[in-house]
Amino acid sequence: MNRSEYYTNVRLITQTDATDLPDATINLFLEEAWQHCAYWKPNWPFYRQTWTYTLTGTGTLFSFTMKELIAGATTTATVAAPAGPNAIEAIFDTLRDNKLAFVDNKEFDKLYRANDTTTGDPRCYTIEQNQFALSGANNIGWEAGFTVKVWPIPSNTVAYTLRLEGFREPISFVSPPVGYVSGTVPGGYYSATSASSIPDMPTPFHEAILHYAIAQAFAYLDDGQRSTYFAAKADNVLALQENNWFRGPTKDGPLRLNGGTRRGIHNMVPARLRYDFE
């Protein structure tokens, strides 16, 4: 559903026209509705992304910032930025098939201060949050800058290709970032062409955005009962999508007797009754 269709449907349900609800007013409702859906869960799978960064050891403590992580550090590139320092889940040294261990800032400082001349292949990392600010996608509440530090100190002239895995920053379809180029967002959910722009999320979420925007419109029109009704409908859609996107297989099987086993790595158990906690 694109923005033009949202305008039509909001006015259709609320029985208003462009005089009662101008496009600019509905945009405010759509922006809030989109944020409500995008931030319902901090780790929607469709926002998952992988970044790569190649560093060359200099024999000194090495760090890189989010802007360095994004190719070119341009406005158009920052829209695919990590969604803050907590969005990085893992870092791998791909050339050495090694996963770096995460340590907090205090532990990292202890390691570095005690071994400030130690060089070698990085084994651990920490992430420091920088000054709170607007993000590259102009979303208030997402941290725009953070610094990644690795230890031991990378050896001289040695290249390390790091793969960072985590979640990218969602992008508003109502107020796209300045300089955004259509097609730079992974997933193919988003288009930044004026009224034809669509939300940066799969189609099933469009209904939730519509319901929430209608709820905001009814609140604007002082109809609290209908506002509550449509807000609940939006949350019902989100709860259903949460179940769909986070559903996964389980190893737990039915209870079996006389040597039967559960489906899992422990396929040999004594021939006796198995309890749930086993």
Whole-angstrom Cα distance, residue 45 to residue 176?
22
| Cα–chain center distance at 193 | 23
Report pLDDT for 276.
58
Q: Which helix (H) or strand (E) holds 63?
A: strand 62-65
Whole-angstrom Cα distance, residue 62 to residue 168?
23
- Per the CB < 8 A criterion, the answer to whether 148 and 127 are in contact is yes
Report pLDDT for 73.
35
Q: Residue 128's beta-bridge partner residues?
A: 147
Parse the chain into domains and list their residue ranges.
Answer: 3-39+185-245, 47-167
Q: What is the mean pLDDT of residues 95-103?
A: 89
Report pLDDT for 78.
42
Report pLDDT for 199.
86
Report pLDDT for 83.
61
Q: What is the mean pLDDT of residues 182-188?
A: 50
Q: What is the mean pLDDT of residues 85-98?
A: 85
Which range, of 37-51, 191-205, 216-230, averages the lowest pLDDT? 191-205
Report pLDDT for 15.
96
Report pLDDT for 238.
96
Structure tokens at 31: 């922006």
Tell me the pLDDT tens digit for each residue of 24-73. Answer: 999 999 999 999 999 898 889 888 878 888 888 777 777 676 655 544 33
Report pLDDT for 56.
80
Higher-confidence position of 117 and 3: 3
Whole-angstrom Cα distance, residue 184 to residue 174?
17
Q: What is the mean pLDDT of residues 196-222?
A: 92
Report pLDDT for 242.
93
Tell me the pLDDT tens digit for each residue of 139-179. Answer: 444 445 677 888 888 887 788 888 888 887 777 888 765 55
Tell me the pLDDT tens digit for each residue of 114-144. Answer: 877 778 888 899 887 765 555 444 444 444 5
Q: Share the mean pLDDT of the chain.
A: 76
Report pLDDT for 13.
97
Higher-confidence position of 80 and 85: 85
pLDDT at 278 over 70: no
% of the chain exceeding 90 in pLDDT: 29
Higher-confidence position of 151 and 208: 208
Whole-angstrom Cα distance, residue 167 to residue 163?
13
Higher-confidence position of 238 and 179: 238
Higher-confidence position of 210 and 263: 210
Which pTM was predicted? 0.72
Sort 81 into a burial class: Cβ within 10 Å, 0-12 / 13-18 / 19+.
Answer: buried
% of the chain exceeding 70 in pLDDT: 67
